[in-house]
Amino acid sequence: MQEIDCYKTLAKTGEETFFKDRGSKFIGQAHPVTNESEIDTIISDLKTKHNKASHVCYAWQLGKNYEHYRANDDGEPSNSAGLPIYGQLQSFEVTQTLVTVIRYYGGTNLGVGGLIQAYKTAAQFALEESTIITKTITEELQLKFEYPLLHTVMRIIKEEQLDIAKQKMELSCLITIDVRKNDLNRIQDRFNAVFGIESSVIE
Residues 132-146: tens digit of each pLDDT: 999 999 999 999 999
Give the model's pLDDT for residue 100.
Answer: 98
Among 12, 15, 7, smallest CA distance to 125 is for 15
**Class of domain 6-135 as given by CATH:** alpha beta
CA–CA gap between residue 12 and residue 14 (Å, rounded): 6
Question: CA–CA distance from 183 to each of 68, 120, 132, 193 (Å)?
Answer: 25, 38, 25, 16
Length of the chain equals 203
Burial 52-78 (b: 16+ CB within 10 A, else e): ebbbbbbbbbbebebeeeebbbbebee
CA–CA gap between residue 31 and residue 95 (Å, rounded): 10
Per-domain boundaries in the chain: 6-135, 138-202
Give the model's pLDDT for residue 4.
Answer: 74
Is the CATH number 3.30.70.260 carried by domain 138-202? yes
Sign of CA dihedral 80, 82, 88, 91: negative
User: How many angstroms from the chain centroid is the CA of residue 22?
Assistant: 34
Q: What angle do CA 202, 69, 89 make, to 5 degrees?
A: 110
Question: CA–CA distance from 122 to each of 46, 86, 157 (Å)?
Answer: 16, 12, 46
Give start and end residues of each alpha helix (H) in 51-177.
82-91, 111-128, 150-159
Give the model's pLDDT for residue 3.
Answer: 63
Low-confidence ranges of the chain (pLDDT < 70): 1-3
Answering whether pTM is above 0.85, one says no
Backbone angles phi, psi at 117, to 5 degrees: -65, -40
CA–CA gap between residue 192 and residue 199 (Å, rounded): 7
CA–CA gap between residue 154 and residue 150 (Å, rounded): 6
